[in-house]
Structures are given as structure tokens and as C-alpha cells.
């Protein structure tokens, strides 16, 4: 069984730290890989650019994708992931500050699996991360790799 790991696409270091903290507090100890912008995330997942030669067969169990990202924004990342045969079925959870209807609609249109708004209240954020980890890492059956 492959190692279950998480790809967090997040440019804000504070948010990254808070996410890590929430995961840790909820004893989700799976590997957390962080991409600082959309381009890096794509390079990493598709094994191109700076991450050429990356073992792209080992896909993350879930991608936590922020929408507002430097270089390539979250929606574009999502669109390209869905375009690529390899990553078309990777579970992608949008984890963002925005509650704009347009964003939610576009995210689902581009094939996200879930949309979670980051609460300001860390207690709530903590709960969200806990539920998220429980659901995507424990309950959810990931797509079968070919």
C-alpha cells in the first residue's frame, strides 16, 4: 500500500503553519507536501519544470488547493489537473478564504471534489481540518491506480 500523503497548495506561510498545526493537533501524521504557487503545484504533480523527473505515479491522496495563488491560480491548476489523464481523478479539495458564489461554481465546474471555506476562527478551522483529514484520508476510497 502506497503511502498516503497530502499536497497543500498554499502561498501563505501562516496558513501553511496553521494547517500543519491543525493536522498535528488532530493526529493526522501523513506526509504533507507544500507547493507555494500554482506553477509549482503543476510541476510537481505533472513531473515537469522544476520537478521534472518526479515520480508522478505516486499521487497525493488529496490535494488541498487554495484558489488565490501566485503565477497560476487555483482554478487554472484544477483545470489542468483534470485535463491530464494522470491527474484527472486526484481528489482535489478547494480550501480557500473566498465564499464568492462565482468561485464555488467555477471550482465545481472544473471538477473539484469538495469546497471548504477557511474559517477565521481557528477552533472552527481546526474542526474543518479534522473532518477533512478524517474523511479524505480515512473514509474516502481513492481512485484505483492503473
Residues near other proteins, by CB under 8 A = 12, 14-15, 18, 21, 67-68, 96-101, 118-123, 125
Task: Give the other-Cβ count within 10 Å of 103's Cβ.
Answer: 19
**Is the separation of the CB atoms in 69 and 11 below 8 Å?**
yes
> At closest approach, how far in Å is the CB of 8 from other proteins?
14
Containing 37, the helix (H) or strand (E) segment is: none
Q: What is the dihedral of CA 103, 105, 108, 113, to 10 degrees?
A: 70
* 58 vs 124 by CB, closer to other proteins: 124
> At closest approach, how far in Å is the CB of 99 from other proteins?
7
**Is the separation of the CB atoms in 5 and 91 below 8 Å?**
no
Distance of CA 13 to the CA centre of its chain: 15
> At closest approach, how far in Å is the CB of 116 from other proteins?
13
* 49 vs 119 by CB, closer to other proteins: 119
* 30 vs 97 by CB, closer to other proteins: 97
| Inter-helix orientation angle 74-83/38-46, to 10° | 20
**Is the separation of the CB atoms in 118 and 89 below 8 Å?**
no
* 62 vs 118 by CB, closer to other proteins: 118
* 85 vs 101 by CB, closer to other proteins: 101
> At closest approach, how far in Å is the CB of 106 from other proteins?
12
> At closest approach, how far in Å is the CB of 126 from other proteins?
8
Amino acid at each position: 500500500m502506497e503511502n498516503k500523503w497530502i499536497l497543500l497548495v498554499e502561498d501563505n506561510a501562516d496558513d501553511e503553519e496553521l494547517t500543519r498545526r491543525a493536522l498535528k493537533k488532530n493526529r493526522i501524521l501523513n506526509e504533507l507536501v507544500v507547493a507555494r504557487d500554482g506553477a509549482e503545484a503543476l510541476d510537481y504533480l505533472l513531473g515537469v519544470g522544476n520537478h521534472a523527473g518526479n515520480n508522478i505515479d505516486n499521487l497525493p491522496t488529496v490535494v488541498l488547493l487554495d484558489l488565490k495563488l501566485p503565477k497560476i491560480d487555483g482554478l487554472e491548476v484544477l483545470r489542468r489537473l483534470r485535463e491530464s489523464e494522470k491527474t484527472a481523478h486526484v481528489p482535489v479539495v478547494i480550501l480557500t478564504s473566498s465564499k464568492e458564489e462565482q468561485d464555488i461554481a467555477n471550482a465545481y465546474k472544473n471538477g473539484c471534489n469538495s469546497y471548504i471555506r477557511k474559517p477565521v476562527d481557528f477552533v472552527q478551522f481546526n474542526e474543518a481540518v479534522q473532518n477533512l483529514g478524517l474523511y479524505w484520508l480515512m473514509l474516502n476510497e481513492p481512485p484505483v491506480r492503473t
